[in-house]
Amino acid sequence: MTRKRKSSTRTKRKSSRQKGSKLRWVGSAVLVLFLAGAAYLAVFHMPQSRTLKAGAIESIFLSADIRDSRISHKDVEEVRHWRVEVPNKAKQDALVRALTQLAETHQLHMEMVDQQTLEGAKHTLYAIGTSDAPQHRILLVMKTPREAPQKPKNDQTFISQNTLDPDGQARIAIIIDDVGGKGPSQIHDLMALNLPITFAVIPFLSHSTSVATHLHQNHYEVMLHMPMEPGNYPAANPGEGAIFSHMNAAEIQAAMAKALSNVPFVVGVNNHMGSKITASRALMREILAELKRRDLYFVDSRTHKSTIAFELAQEMDVRSAERKVFLDSEERYEYTIQQLEETQRKADEMGAVIAIGHPYDSTIRALVEMLPKLDRQGYAFVFASELVHGSESHL
């Protein structure tokens, strides 16, 4: 009798474990199905418009049991910027699937545009929009376990020793992208700092030529912010005069020549969008060969992790560098302050760093506040041309 009771007890325990495992699996499946249903219900009574209303997105968050206190948003130039704190990767993945389904229902595209870890939290930025412009930018913030610090690799030590200013100062190059849509007044406060800041001008905008000329006359370094085809084209449009993946060498050379004629006094180039181009060795080889022929340097904006542009530029001995910090993936003053602090940390670690931002009001405010402080602390601000190098040197 006793033996039978023990066997029965073991059977019950095993059954309990199996039920627990099944319940956890079922719970995950239910969450995915629930969010998919929420995405469906959010648009079920709506016309199939390409305008995605904020209420539909918010319903996805609330259906995932994200508390109101974890959701914030603001509108900037007709784009809604969301910030959502998520508890774990499973919930984040479920949210991304539901939001992607919601976007597709409206014939829109959802794309991850940036991902980085700040202060123990993983920040992943998504954009939902049309070929004309994004409608929503969604920043998902998930806390990650703190990792033990690792010893720097030998090449990192070499970098730090050889990229310092001759006086021993860590060097920082700030590049401001997307200049040219407005006149010089847009960047007046940055120019008033009297610090070396590099401005990357998009060609064929209403003020591209005049702003580039104004910058040159005031002794600032001008880059061409060359439009290139993104991976999600035509949902995202790089703009007039872009380099596309169907182009041959002659067409790429012609596109470069036309853009350079519109933006005078250029000394270097970086990519505007371009994730499809910068992932292609064949296309980048043609672009980099043209830059080398014209004695222009190249900075890889690193708009996507698949880029091989900087690596190939080094192989071809084209003067080049790559962006290490994005200052305003989230268009928010507090965020840019955090990113400038990250720039400071990387400059300390590596000896030199390139950070890229945009002429947003929040970014300009943060730069005007922080750059003089960093300058007083002994950091050397330099133009981007001082941090590019060929394959024989290191950055």
pLDDT tens per residue, range 107-159: 898 999 888 887 678 889 999 987 667 899 999 998 764 443 343 333 332 23
Element (H, E) at 333: helix 333-350
Q: State whether 94 and 171 are in the same domain.
A: no
Give which of 392, 183, 356 is closest to 270, Cα–Cα: 356
pLDDT at 166 over 90: no
Q: Is the model more confident about 393 or about 220? A: 220
Task: Report yes or no: 161 and 351 within 8 Å, Cβ to Cβ.
Answer: yes
Which of 114, 143, 172 corresponds to the end of one domain? 143
Provide the 3-class DSSP secondary structure of residue 388.
coil
Query: Would you say residue 14 lies in a domain?
Result: no
Share of the chain above pLDDT 90, in %: 55
Asked if residue 16 is part of any domain, the answer here is no
Give the CA count within 13 Å in the CB-facing half-sphere of 148: 2
**Segment (H or E) for 320:** strand 320-322
Scanning the structure block, which residue is given the tokens 């060498």? Answer: 249
What mean pLDDT value characterizes the chain? 83
Burial class (CB in 10 A: 0-12, 13-18, 19+), 289: middle
Tell me how far apart the alpha carbons of residues 253 and 214 are, in angstroms, rounded to a whole number.
Answer: 26
Q: Which of 118, 143, 168 is the last residue of a domain?
A: 143
Burial of 170 (C-beta count, 10 Å sphere; 0-12/13-18/19+) = buried
Is residue 324 classed as helix, strand or coil in its secondary structure? Answer: coil
Say which CATH number the domain at 217 has.
3.20.20.370
- Cis (ω within 30 of 0) for the bond into 234? yes
pLDDT digits 0-9 by tens, 47-70: 445 688 888 898 888 877 788 888
| Cα separation of the two ends of the chain | 77
Q: What's the CA gap between 367 and 365, in Å, rounded?
A: 6
**394 part of a folded domain:** no
How far is residue 23's CA from residue 348's CA, in Å, rounded to a whole number? 49
Question: Quick one: which H or E segment has residue 61?
Answer: helix 54-63
Name the 3-class secondary structure at 331: coil
- Assess if residue 392 is contained within a domain: no
Contact 327, 339 (CB under 8 A): yes
Q: Are both 310 and 240 inside the same structural domain?
A: yes
Same domain assignment for residues 135 and 280: no
Output the CA torsion sign for 28, 30, 34, 37.
positive
User: pLDDT per residue over 272-285, tens digit each?
Assistant: 998 899 999 999 99
Task: Tokens for 190, please give them.
Answer: 């940055």
Spatial separation of the C-alpha atoms in residues 46 and 53, rounded to whole Å: 10
The CA distance from 294 to 281, in Å, is: 20
Q: Which structural domain, as residue segments, surrounds residue 131?
A: 27-143
- Using a cut of 0.75, tell me whether the model's pTM lies above it: no
Residue 355 included in any domain: yes
| Dihedral angle sign, alpha carbons of residues 205, 209, 212, 217 | negative
Q: Which pair of tokens denotes residue 327?
A: 């200052």
